[in-house]
């Protein structure tokens, strides 16, 4: 067997293992985003339910599930906790999505294909969008 063939085979195996490892990380990140998004939607539903029930309840306490236990807690504090959790979830989802873009780009590079056009685009924030609408008028 030619030493060059052995070297080439070793290099190919290393590249394929890198591709496989990166693909698994991408799939894990997508699953994490899905789970975080589910938690975010659940929090949003809870916040909306608390807003609707503000005037209806005679007591100012609500039940909250923490770590498998239900605790009666002041409604204002429950809303505050859920709002903070919502902000943390938004930030975590954004971080995972940003990392996912980098990983997908690297995967395309390892596979030898070009990254899709427009994949690195980011959405406009409120300030940029308001500036755009002012200039448009």
CA angle 46–51–52, rounded 5-degree value: 100
Report yes or no on 102 lying in a domain: yes
Give the domain extent around 77. Answer: 8-114
List of residues 6+ apart from 64 with CB closer than 8 A: 70, 71, 72, 73, 78, 81
Task: Please report which confidence band the pLDDT of residue 2 belongs to, taking 50, 70 and 90 as the band edges.
Answer: low
Arithmetic mean of pLDDT, 73-93: 94
Q: Between 131 and 23, name the one with better pLDDT.
A: 23
CA dist 84 and 78 (Å) reads 10
Task: Please report which confidence band the pLDDT of residue 26 belongs to, taking 50, 70 and 90 as the band edges.
Answer: very high
The DSSP output letter for 124 is: -
CATH code of residue 43: 1.10.287.370
Phi, psi (deg, nearest 5) at residue 2: -75, 135
Q: Between 20 and 117, name the one with better pLDDT.
A: 20
CA dist 35 and 3 (Å) reads 48
Count of domains observed in the chain: 1
Report yes or no on 130 lying in a domain: no
Task: Please report which confidence band the pLDDT of residue 112 belongs to, taking 50, 70 and 90 as the band edges.
Answer: confident
Looking at residue 81, its pLDDT comes to 94
Which has the closest alpha carbon to 46: 72, 81, 70, 74?
A: 81
Arithmetic mean of pLDDT over the chain? 86
Report yes or no on 97 lying in a domain: yes
- Under a CB-based contact definition with an 8 Å cutoff, are residues 75 and 60 in contact? yes
């Amino acid at each position: 067997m030619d030493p060059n063939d052995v070297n080439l085979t070793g290099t190919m195996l290393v590249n394929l293992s890198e591709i496989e490892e990166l693909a698994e990380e991408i799939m894990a990140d997508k699953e994490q985003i899905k789970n975080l998004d589910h938690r975010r939607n659940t929090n949003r539903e809870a916040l909306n339910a608390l807003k609707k029930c503000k005037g209806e309840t005679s007591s100012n306490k609500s039940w909250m599930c923490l770590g498998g236990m239900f605790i009666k807690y002041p409604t204002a504090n429950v809303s505050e906790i859920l709002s903070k959790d919502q902000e943390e979830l938004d930030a975590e989802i954004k971080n995972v999505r940003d990392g996912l873009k980098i990983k997908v780009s690297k995967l395309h590079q390892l596979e030898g294909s070009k990254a899709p056009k427009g994949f690195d685009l980011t959405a406009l924030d409120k300030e940029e969008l308001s500036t755009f609408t002012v200039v448009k008028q």
